[in-house]
Amino acid sequence: MRYVISSLLVLFSILLLSIFFFLPLKEVLSFTETRTQQERIFYVPTNQQRTFDIRYVHSIHLTDVIESYEVTENRDIRMLSMSYENLSIGMPGEAGEGETIDLKDGVYTLTYKDRVIDSFRLHIGRVDADLALRYNGVEIDLKEYLEKGKSYEFKVQRLTFYQMMKGEKLNGER
């Protein structure tokens, strides 16, 4: 009888550890490079803050472009706006359907009405220009973590403890 109880306790402990280790629990903003044989995840744990920005320097204009997003309840990405200083090459000069564009203090802001996506690709250029994620009051230099010349899928997802151990947490404190 004692052997049966101890065996059940061991099985129960293994089950609990498996659930803890392999059940997706923690919501993160993730960058996944999927073109290599070994998928590697870079992530930023989320909290109550539901908005974030991607800031980059436009390769031709050499001015900041700030794209603002919001995480939805079902972990999709709502595009909020894009702010930039120049209308020429590569930047929208007019608003499309469901969009507005405003000019204030030399900065154009293109605002999206309700554009929701599940993920997007982010190419890390070889050009030595800024590329950063702004979240929860911290700006994280993505070129410090992500490999130049590679593309990453960005999405909001839940990771398991095991995935977080295999991945790399981006916290801006290198």
* Angle at the Cα of 79 from the Cα atoms of 160 and 82, rounded to 5 degrees: 125
- H helices of the chain, in order, are 2-22, 142-145, 161-166
Taking alpha carbons only, the member of 120, 112, 121 closest to residue 81 is 112
* Angle at the Cα of 66 from the Cα atoms of 144 and 151, rounded to 5 degrees: 45
Sorted by where each begins, the domain ranges of the chain are 25-169
Cβ neighbours of residue 119 under 8 Å, at least 6 residues apart? Answer: 77, 153, 154, 155
Contact 133, 29 (CB under 8 A): yes
pLDDT score of 73 more than 90 = yes
* pTM, full prediction: 0.85
- The mean per-residue pLDDT over the stretch 163-172 comes to 85
- The mean per-residue pLDDT over the stretch 121-137 comes to 91
Output the average pLDDT for the chain: 88
pLDDT score of 174 more than 50 = no
